Amino acid sequence: MFDLDKWQEIFSTIRQNKLRTFLTAFSVAWGIIMLVILLGSGYGLENGVRKEFEGDAVNYLSINPGMTSVAHKGTKPGTPIRFTNDDRDLLARMPGVTASSARTRIFGNGIISYKNEYGAFDIFCCHPEYAQVESLVMTQGRYLNHSDIENTRKVVALGRIVAEALFKNGEDPLGKYIKVNDVLFKVVGVFDDPGGDRDMSRIYIPISTAQKAFNRGNSINNVCVVMDGATVEQSRQAEEAIKQNLSQRHHFDPNDTRALFVFNTINEYQRFMSLFAGIRTFIWIIGIGTIIAGIVGVSNIMMIVVKERTKEIGIRKSLGATPASIVGLILQESVLITAFAGYSGLVIGVVLLELVGNNMPNVDYFANPEIKLDVALSATLLLIVSGVVAGFVPARRAASVKPVEALRDE
């Protein structure tokens, strides 16, 4: 492999056929560029979807009441389903549920004020476990706890945007009292939410306090149940169990699609990931197909090279060159062309992805197009194998040349 004479001979052959070599190398490089860009774009879509899911956990089910559409056991069509605290307690005891939280929103103006600062923000009333659903990150103080629920404390956790709007000039919000629809609440924490500005324009208060302070009784808007480690199949089974349990409590048909709405993030997330796995497989098929076209081109060129050098090969063999040395010479040239062209295509593809990633505006469901290290290594290995495959048939033909026949060749 490190015989200097062989390399000099290979480079001499390439210089004598520059255009032919360039066009052959270009076909290989183009195949790798297309593979890298397609795979990078696929990862960009996947990263975008993962980013959209960052604002919420991907291991919970959200159960929302609806309105019956069919009669069942005395319940007429058009009857609204209304959840209470007992529904949350029932679902919290289900097998596989590791955490649960009711959620209620205080609709209306949602005016929140501190001294002379005012703002209209979303008011969410929930249990402490809801922090797992929203993937909250506390930057100051703490979130709600069970003692707040049990003692109906008037405490509140503020989103960062809310805190910045109410507390100017770097004033520390912890321990201060703000008005939530004219009811005083003590600030116990400030949080960030990877879901973005919308989710950080919220405040969270204990649901037990909200039910008393805002005359909500024991009603709730929806229930979220967290199922750590649950598979898609287990989450679907939990969906059916939820429908059965709640249909018995509220007297509706469990098959009534409008009585209950269950959003299964476990199933949705896995569905998206399976989709992108399929897209990546499809991209690999297209990319490899393009590379194969380039390999065929390299193989054809090497066949022409063998044909043009038939007399030379015959002289080599008559002087004692072994078939292995002839095969090695052809394979070296084939591997050199494919490896150099492929690596160049790999570099160009990565550079193009970087340019796109750095200059692309923020869009939903697409972020950070990239090529991963294992993919780059796989592509490099593919190039080496491709070079060997492309040169193998011509090399065998060259090795089988008989010196007497080769010397007669014109």
Q: Per residue in 239-271, pLDDT tens?
A: 999 999 999 999 999 899 899 999 998 888 888
Please report whether residue 238 resides in a domain. Answer: no
Question: For residue 22, what are the domain limits?
Answer: 4-53+270-408
Shared-domain flag, residues 291 and 378: yes
pTM for the full model? 0.67
Shared-domain flag, residues 209 and 114: yes
Please report whether residue 183 resides in a domain. Answer: yes
Shared-domain flag, residues 120 and 211: yes
Close Cβ partners of 272 (under 8 Å, ≥ 6 residues apart)? 49, 53
Question: 217 versus 301: which is more confidently predicted?
Answer: 217
Please report whether residue 92 resides in a domain. Answer: no
Shared-domain flag, residues 104 and 211: yes
User: Which of 194, 226, 258 lies at the terminal end of a domain, its last residue?
Assistant: 226
The total domain count for the chain is 2
CA distance to 105, 134, 202, per residue, from 196 (Å): 19, 11, 11
For residue 202 the two structure tokens come to 């919220």
Shared-domain flag, residues 144 and 49: no
What Rg, from alpha-carbon coordinates, does the chain have?
34
Query: How confident is the model over 48-96, as pLDDT tens digits?
Result: 766 666 666 788 999 999 999 999 888 889 999 999 999 999 999 999 9
Shared-domain flag, residues 36 and 152: no
Q: Give dist(CA 149, CA 134) in Å, integer.
A: 19
Percentage of residues in the chain with pLDDT exceeding 90?
35
Shared-domain flag, residues 402 and 341: yes
How do beta strands 60-65 and 222-226 pair? Answer: antiparallel
Please report whether residue 255 resides in a domain. Answer: no
CA distance to 11, 150, 220, per residue, from 179 (Å): 81, 22, 22
Q: Give dist(CA 336, CA 6) in Å, integer.
A: 12
Shared-domain flag, residues 401 and 274: yes
Question: 90 versus 170: which is more confidently predicted?
Answer: 90
Please report whether residue 237 resides in a domain. Answer: no
Shared-domain flag, residues 210 and 284: no
Please report whether residue 116 resides in a domain. Answer: yes
User: Which of 165, 195, 226 lies at the terminal end of a domain, its last residue?
Assistant: 226
Please report whether residue 349 resides in a domain. Answer: yes
Shared-domain flag, residues 280 and 368: yes
User: Which of 160, 194, 226 lies at the terminal end of a domain, its last residue?
Assistant: 226
Please report whether residue 63 resides in a domain. Answer: no
**Is residue 294 predicted with pLDDT exceeding 60?**
yes
